[in-house]
Structure 1
Amino acid sequence: MTGARPRPVSVVLAGGGTAGHIEPALAVADSLRDLDVDVRITALGTERGLETTLVPQRGYPLELIPPVPMPRKLTRQLFGLPARVRQSVKQTRAVLDRVEADVIVGFGGYVSLPAYLAAGPGILRRRRRIPIVVHEANATAGLANKVGARRAARVLTAFPDSGLPNGEQVGIPVRAAITSLDRKALRAEARDHFGLDPDAPTLLVFGGSQGARSLNEAVSAAAGELAKAGIGVLHAHGPKNTITVSRANDGPAYMAVPYLSRMDLAYAAADAVVCRSGAMTVAEVSAVGLPAVYVPLPHGNGEQELNAKPVVAAGGGIIAHDSELTRDYIIDHVIPLLTNPGRLTEMSAAAAGAGHRSAAAEVAKIVMDVARGNIA
């Protein structure tokens, strides 16, 4: 008589709020299923995050918990568990018990904090600890991951010095549709999909899901010069923005769209990109080997510039500060890049070399090792 089949490993992913947290989590989820088709995956999120759309679209169950406001500094108030934190932790703990979580994988942000706090034993009742794997995608760690890293089984980072103890650099998990992309093989289909010139050097422009005004204004203002130089443009300006493109009727097409739902085709269509330098953007752009002009957000703690620096140092990109990105900058720097095939080839190889195509698979293996060690 054979024994009962062991239950599947149960993994809880905490990475809601923005695409920069959600996409790495979903890439790891896909790789976990590649490793073990029976693995049980549960995503945590809140009703106000992008996860309410992105997670169900990828076929994973989503459990909603109350959002936790993030204090700017690590203070005693964080551990005082005020009412909102206490309620979120309570509901998160109920989810962990219900799905019999074997490991929690946190990607930072306001969904991860209650998961980290809920992973420990209950105050008034005996309860097993659930091991934590922390992944930090940014060059400087956020508060939630600083909390999680204090008792994490493994701490994984995208950069060598994120400020987390015992960090292991693995890169940023990127979905297989991007890491396996053959831009050259897909180019004709991609350009046909967007109505682009099949042969012209092509510039891709995007500023995140909501667009970026400075990118929109600078590139659209140079539309005439781009056309005269024989350069096509695919420009995602954001669903709440509009742009005016003034150019002659001749020359390659300038295709302006609110949003790009097929980023794989957008990357395949392009020869170079002008974009922000959020961690996920840099990871994807470098993974597909696209030369890039990275334009970090002009506010905050300078994190976006830090995200781009390794790729730029390798020769795969250029950093342009927001204040210097003008029509003249596009004419003086971007057009010469797009019309220099040799430089594009060199930068493409450098960008691909700086990327971490295997990060999702590596993180998934670590997660399964931690989970199985917990079960054992």
Structure 2
Amino acid sequence: MTSILLAGGGTTGHISPMLAIGRELRRQHPDWDVVALGTPDGLEADIVPRAGFELLTIDKVPMPRSISPALLKFPGRFRGNISAVKQIISSRSIDAVVGVGGYVCPPAFLAAKQAKIPLIVHEANAKPGMANRLGARLTTSGRVGITFPDTELRNSTLVGMPMPTEITDLDRSDEGQRAGFRADLGLRDDRPVLVVTGGSSGAQKINEAFLATATACQEAGIQVLHITGAGKGDALREVAAELPDYHVVDYVDGMHRAYAVADLLVARSGAATVSEATVAGVPALYVPLAIGNGEQRLNASGSVSAGASLMVDNAEFSPSTVVDTILPLLADESRLAQMSEAALQLNYPTDAAARMAAIVNRALEG
């Protein structure tokens, strides 16, 4: 029996494409054993088992950013993780490793190389992270899939962003379907819908701006579905208790429903969010996360240039952005329609999971 180890985690931006690849491999090969590798304290510890995949874990061993006792301990702990993955590869008879990024990927990549089994990499962001740059160097031509056409990464080929079929098959022109999702989410049919999300870990700057303008949103005649992130919405809930059209939730199970109902999306520009919103044709205003290596700004640049979205820097996002930019845009149906069409015209690949599965198949064939 063929066995595949999926490696990744930490954020939904890694977990979502990893699971999409895993589902596609299972669909094509029901007899394969497809398992995942993560850490016991990452989001994957909950999300991966709920998705029906076995999760194997190793310790989270981040590279220390400064001289400290942790730096002295890092080499030994990192070698320990490589050994742990090699043991998994041996005991589970793993035939190939598919990595998407995150703390577990460097040891998984090195273990795959040492075990002399195929290594396949998917890079979600426009600017690759350290883990996948390592993976791309360790594998061979054509075994690295990238999401954005301008991404510079060794041995890569454009595949797009693996995502759930509920998103790739979504038809926002189907008003009956959109009405059904609005009902599911407790929304009305007679007011425009603004969906606000900061991703799996929330976005304090966005949350604070809407906390100050929640009443203005109600008075503007719109309804808001605000996905705050776990434990980030208490203050907003207090304000929204008096506002029947301001809905605050920690998360939405099945983001295709949020994309379906959104007349406008305000979000971080993680690779998964940008790709999914573009494929679904959702007009968006992106607020790139200001930390990291600048990948979130690059993720959204193609969408912004095409007129499918707007971008506001995190430092500049404020209550006035909501009042002066977002609320007037929600009232401009013609512009929203143009933004939606511009997103669809970008023709982002919608079969990325199948393309990644094809890379895995070819790698196993030698």
TM-score of the pair, normalised by structure 1: 0.87
How far apart are the structure 2 equivalents of 1:192 and 1:323?
35
Map of 1:270 onto structure 2 = 262
**C-alpha distance in 2, partners of 1:43/1:138?**
21
- Match 1:333 to one of 325, 329, 336: 325
Report what 2:129 is aligned to: 142
Partner of 1:168: 157
Shift of 1:27: 0.5
- C-alpha separation in 2, matches of 1:213 and 1:182: 31
What does the per-residue CA deviation read over 1:87-107, in whole Å, with 9 as the maximum and x for residues that have no partner? Answer: 111110111112222211111
Give the superposition deviation at 1:302: 2.0
Please list the CA deviations of residues 115-143 of structure 1 after superposition, one character each: whole Å capped at 9, or x if unmatched: 1111134xxxxxx5101111111122122
Kept after mapping to 1: 8 A contact 2:182/2:188: yes
In 1: Cα distance, 2:54 partner to 2:11 partner: 18
Measured in 2, the distance between the counterparts of 1:321 and 1:150 equals: 33
Task: Report the CA distance shift for 1:83/1:343 in structure 2 as closer, same or farther (over 3 A).
Answer: same
Q: Which one-letter code corresponds to 1:101 in the other structure?
A: I
Q: Percent sequence identity over matched residues?
A: 45
Partner secondary structure for residue 119 of structure 1: helix
Q: CA deviation at 1:237?
A: 2.2
Structure-to-structure mapping, 1:235-254, within 5 angstroms = 235-241=226-232, 242-244=234-236, 253-254=245-246
**More deviation in 81-90 or 284-293?**
81-90
2:56 aligned with 1:63: yes
Contact 2:265 2:283 in 1 (8 A): yes
Q: Residue in 2 aligned with 1:54? A: 47
SS at match of 2:117: coil
Provide the residue aligned with 1:180 in structure 2: 169
CA–CA separation in structure 2 for the residues paired with 1:174 and 1:50? 17
1:232 is aligned with what amino acid? Q
Structure 1 distance, partners of 2:235, 2:245, is 15
**Residue 117 of structure 2 is aligned with which of 130, 134, 138?**
130
Change (3 A) 1:333 1:248: farther
Counterpart in the other structure of 1:23: 16
Q: Which structure 1 segments of 5+ residues have no match?
A: 1-6, 122-127
CA contact (8 A) 2:127 2:293 kept: no
User: Which string of whole-angstrom CA distances, capped at 9 and with x for unpartnered residues, describes residues 9-63 of structure 1?
Assistant: 3211111222111111100011112222222211111112111111111111111
Alignment-derived partner of residue 88 in structure 1: 81
Of 155, 165, 168 in structure 1, the residue corresponding to residue 144 of structure 2 is 155
Residue 285 of structure 1 pairs with residue 277 of structure 2: yes
1:204-249 Cα shifts (integer Å, max 9, x gaps): 0111123222212222323333333321111122332223476998
Structure 1 distance, partners of 2:271, 2:128, is 12
Structure 2: gaps (5+ residues): none
Q: Does 1:207 align with 2:198?
A: yes
Contact persistence 1:10–1:101 (CA under 8 A)? yes
For 1:347, what is the secondary structure of its paired residue? helix
> Do 2:127 and 2:294's aligned partners in 1 also have CA atoms closer than 8 Å?
no
Please report the TM-score for the alignment, with normalisation by the length of structure 2: 0.89
Question: How many Å separate the matches in 1 of 2:167 and 2:323?
Answer: 30
Q: CA RMSD in A?
A: 2.4
Larger helix fraction of residues: 2
Matches within 5 A, 1:25-40: 25-40=18-33
Q: Which residue of 2 aligns with 1:255?
A: 247
Contact 1:67/1:110, CA 8 A, preserved across alignment: yes
Whichever residue aligns with residue 114 of structure 1, its letter is: P
Shift of 1:367: 1.2
How far does residue 71 in structure 1 lie from its aligned partner after superposition? 5.7
- Out of 32-41 and 200-209, give the one that drifted further: 32-41
SS of structure 1 residue aligned to 2:9: coil
Bigger mean CA offset, 164-173 vs 304-313: 164-173
Which residue of structure 1 aligns with residue 185 of structure 2?
194
Task: Verify: 1:315 aligned to 2:315, yes or no.
Answer: no
Secondary structure of 1:216's partner?
Answer: helix
Contact map agreement 1:68 1:113 (CA 8 A) in 2: no
Of 308-317 and 63-72, the range deviating more from structure 2: 63-72
When residues 30 and 316 of structure 1 are mapped into structure 2, their CA distance, relative to the original with a 3 A threshold, is same
| Structure 1 residue 112 displacement after superposition | 0.8
- SS of 1:59's equivalent in the other structure is coil
Conserved 8 A contact 1:292-1:318: yes
Residues 294-313 of structure 1 aligned to structure 2 (within 5 Å): 294-313=286-305
Tell me, what secondary structure is at the counterpart of 1:203? strand
Amino acid at match of 2:20: A
Q: How many residues align?
A: 354
